[in-house]
Structure 1
Amino acid sequence: MVTLLIGKKGTGKTKKLIALANEAVAASAGNVVVIEKGAKLTYDVTHKARLIDTEQYLIEGYDMLFGFISGICAGNYDVTDILVDSTFKICPTGVDGVETFTKKLQELSEASSTNIVLLISAEESELPESINAVCQKV
């Protein structure tokens, strides 16, 4: 399942993502991965989760991020949750391309039995209507 945390900057999305990551670690029998741009969540997310800084791997754009997430799923059969902070900072095209990206992630999520959470800094009205069919919003 793909879940979107949607809201403008300053609405508490990152705090919610941190809480979801820590809850997932507590409930998961597998691994939890948190993908971020920069290393700002190091002290907020439990050390039991795998934190990955996209800047270390030069990830930019939806295609690169999708390939990276796919590689995580392919390389580790026991990843139960992947949470992505600051999706639009990693993918600077913003709303353009998010529809295709979320559809591909939904297919990957179903195939790998992995829950994926994306933090999206936008109003719900700014996103394509078709995303509602594929994603659950928090």
Structure 2
Amino acid sequence: MNSWRRLQEHLPGRRIRGTRPCSIETARKTPIHCRSTSYRVEFRQGDLGETVNLSKGGCYIRTRRPFSRGTLLVIEIKNNGARLRTDAKVAYDIESDGMGLSFLNIPAKELPILERWLASAGGERPAETSREEIE
């Protein structure tokens, strides 16, 4: 079974077909917008990986040595001189391929960095304006 098939088994919803950036719709119908953009990531333990599908809630890390589900980590993602350092929890792991991480308590000073990366990758969509706000 290829890596994408194994990854899909662990996603909380279904993938909506289309080109990248991808959209994932959860069972609660809450859309999660992400972008397949690669950034280097470093764990406190010294291991390295590459992020894909970065979003405000977490990311997928390609690494040959994924940590087990439930492991708490401190990660550092670097891109063009900027870095994001935050706590994360392994949501799922795929042996010899990678792991999905959920970000935990992103420090307020780090959040603008993540938002800037997502905006530059085109992965986060602006909030929709309601009819009441227009009138």
TM-score, normalising length: structure 1: 0.29
Higher percent of residues as helix: 1
- Higher RCO, Cα 8 Å, sep 6+: 1
Higher percent of residues as strand: 2
TM-score, normalising length: structure 2: 0.30
- Higher alpha-carbon Rg: 2
